[in-house]
Structure 1
């Protein structure tokens, strides 16, 4: 009985100390970097090193918050990228909250799988992703037009033309895959500005970025084979 009590007492003391260290770190972060919003602080398997999620990325530091490590924390024995696992968890969103009326809907096959895509028509990586998506079947794609004009000055105009066309997704594919300019159409009310604000809210800082049915965030262009594996992994 004494042994179990000793173990329990030691565990509680360790937990209390860890909690105290996190509180110290949180206070130091607020004091030293008040302009940077910190979303969460967690312990790691490494003694005296903590995971800090801020600015849409994970960094590592100790309770002093003086020096930071940026990179991947790897568990070699388990062959696991711990940083990547945590990022997938922290970057998830509630896809049910997405305003789908601001997206172009495209259904292929039975449409049972879902991709929520934020993409810029003039982004080369977005164009590559679109070529790969043509090889994916049985999927519903919700395309949120998200022109990043600081990189592609003409993208907003193109996005407006795509949205206002008779067949927006075909016009999108014609432009991104076949390099066919959208036909001139009568201007209409578009959700482009709302999409830009939504992307900022979701901390999407690059295109393409897409989300899966479980809210997982995938950044950058992926090949069709990798997209298939990602879709199969989602329950």
Structure 2
């Protein structure tokens, strides 16, 4: 038990450092053209476009989700990039969201922690498994290696960098 806690805290610290250090590094996309959003989860109808790569158990992803939920000026496209090494329940949560009839609400429920102590029901669906592969492949092509990874109106933001987010789209109203 102690060994697992030490590993968990070490990996969490490593991700935090990666998020903080990564926020200052320029990112050059590996994908030309538009980002295919047809298999993303869409939330909102605001004037600002936010492409998000999220892990449902990442505390920084949850902070970004909480922040974006308070904004009316964004259209969000959610893709998943699970860090299964440190978040072993992430895949089941992703499957639950993608299998849901109301994926945007299921996403918000997952990110709010509603299913942290209770396992969500999941489906076994080849289409869902392919969607997860497509999400992670797209993240890889765009250089996403940690979450949250955002593209806001064409500008890359690594980590939960609210100052940079607001420099692109302004403060929430």
Give the alignment's TM-score, normalised by structure 2. 0.71
- How far does residue 197 in structure 1 lie from its aligned partner after superposition? 1.5
Higher relative contact order (CA 8 A, sep 6+): 2
In the alignment, which of 135, 140, 150 is matched to residue 195 of structure 1? 135
Q: Which residue number corresponds to residue 176 of structure 1?
A: 111
Runs of 5+ consecutive residues of structure 2 not aligned to the other structure: 1-20
Q: Which has the larger radius of gyration?
A: 1
Measure the CA separation in 2 of the matches of 1:172 and 1:95: 28
Per the TM alignment, residue 211 of structure 1 is displaced from its structure 2 partner at its CA by 0.3
Sort the Cα spacing of 1:199 and 1:209 in 2 relative to 1 into closer, same or farther, 3 A: same
CA contact (8 A) 2:29 2:142 kept: no
Higher strand share: 1
1:178 and 1:156, CA in 2 relative to 1: closer, same or farther beyond 3 A?
A: closer
1:217 has 2:156 as partner: yes
Task: Name the count of aligned residue pairs.
Answer: 144
Unaligned runs of 5+ in 1: 1-70, 72-83
Partner residue in 2 for 1:97: 34
Q: Quote the residue 2:68 is aligned against.
A: 133
**2:102 is equivalent to residue 164 of structure 1:** no
Normalising by structure 1, we get a TM-score of: 0.54
Pairing 1:230–2:168 present: yes
Post-superposition, which runs of at least 4 consecutive aligned residues in structure 1 deviate over 4 A? Answer: 92-96
CA RMSD of aligned residues (A): 2.6
Residue 226 of structure 1 and its aligned partner are, at CA, apart by 5.2
